[in-house]
Structure 1
Amino acid sequence: MPELKPIAASNFYFEIDSMTDMAFSKIGGVKFEAKVQGQDKPLMSTKGGNTVRQINSAGFEGLFNIEVTTLMSGDSDSTSKKMYDWFKKCMPKTEKGEGKWAEGKKTGSIVAYDTDGNEVMRWDLKEAWPSQYKIGDFDVSGNGYVEETYTLTCENINRKK
């Protein structure tokens, strides 16, 4: 039996073109969902009363969403600031953004590393933009840091390794 080499969930990097040296605490919510035709609906009945069913793939359900989380920071060179500036660039002018959604789309990658720091998995993203922004809780009794979570909408995601 081959040796199992699981990937540690903590050894990852998220990179997006033109935005370097960023740090994220979480990446999640990556989901692929196929659309299907037919499902459990009966299509027809044959001699003897047998019901015929058929399930066919009909592509994928909409766009792909990924959640990336970073720690909130006031530093002008922080991941927090870079991500918020990108979000603001893509927001419509009617929402006080820059309205540059089309030119704000980027490519990027999610990279997983083994315990020796070697790249073992990579997912490439194309036509990605921040579509949602969420600020974590401020809590007088809390002892953690405030996090920011961005939902990135991607038109394509492809596992390369």
Structure 2
Amino acid sequence: MPLPDLDSGAGHSFGLEFDGVQIKSITEVSGLKMEQDVIELKENGADGKYLIKKLPGRWKAAEITLTRGLTADTSFEKWIKDSQFGKMNDVRKGGAVIVYDFEGNPLKRYKLTNAWPKSLEIGSLKAGDTSVLTEKLVLTAERLEVE
């Protein structure tokens, strides 16, 4: 059941899938951004006044950051290692971030086209620290669309 017009979704309930496989234990997704360049056309109008028109340009590639607690799972490391060795046919994946409503029904899907890992960052190692150690995978995608 969709949300009523004046309600909004909660950001705590989301899922992630790539090539039909659910990726679990993701604690945060950031960078879901659709953006395009702006082209400025500078000209003089018929009355001689200087005008600037702004036109839509090319789409910019999305960069999405996935954060999860550090585990023995090596899928992120394998994915980025494959990209470093140029296995791009295996590395580029289609996927989606799915936001769920309070009843667990899909509310929105943010579809990623040809996403691949740009970087992998391990959280800070500090002696005596009791916080959860995380890993952040930054993906770049050719396109981000809302379905």
Shorter-chain TM-score bucket reads 0.7 to 0.9
Deviations 1:40-76 (A, max 9, x none): xx422543x5222211111223x211110111112xx
Give the counterpart of 1:72 among 70, 73, 85. 70
Contact 1:114 1:120 survives alignment (8 Å): yes
Bigger strand share? 2
SS at match of 1:25: strand
Structure 1 residue 129: Cα displacement: 0.7
SS at match of 1:151: strand
Contact 2:111 2:145 survives alignment (8 Å): yes
Separation in 1 of the partners of 2:104 and 2:9? 11
Q: What is the identity, as a one-letter code, of the residue corresponding to 1:32?
A: M
Give the counterpart of 2:11 among 9, 12, 15. 9
Structure 1 residue 19: Cα displacement: 4.1
Matched with 2:53 is 54
Give the counterpart of 1:30 among 12, 32, 39. 32
1:122 and 2:109 are equivalent in the alignment: yes
Q: What is the identity, as a one-letter code, of the residue corresponding to 1:91?
A: Q
Deviations 1:27-51 (A, max 9, x none): 0012222211117xx422543x522
Q: What is the identity, as a one-letter code, of the residue corresponding to 1:65?
A: E
Separation in 1 of the partners of 2:23 and 2:52? 52
SS at match of 1:4: coil
Matched with 1:89 is 82
The structure having more radius of gyration, on CA atoms, is 1
Structure 1 residue 123: Cα displacement: 1.1
Q: CA RMSD in A?
A: 1.9
Contact 1:19 1:82 survives alignment (8 Å): no
Structure 1 residue 152: Cα displacement: 0.6
Q: What is the identity, as a one-letter code, of the residue corresponding to 1:121?
A: K
1:131 and 2:118 are equivalent in the alignment: yes
Residue segments in structure 1 that go unaligned for 5+ positions in a row: 93-98
Structure 1 residue 104: Cα displacement: 1.4
> How many pairs does the alignment contain?
144
Matched with 2:87 is 100
Separation in 1 of the partners of 2:53 and 2:5? 40
1:43 and 2:43 are equivalent in the alignment: yes
Describe the shift of the 1:12–1:18 C-alpha distance in structure 2 as closer, same or farther (beyond 3 A): closer
Give the counterpart of 1:111 among 88, 93, 98. 98
Sequence identity percentage: 24
Q: What is the identity, as a one-letter code, of the residue corresponding to 1:86?
A: W
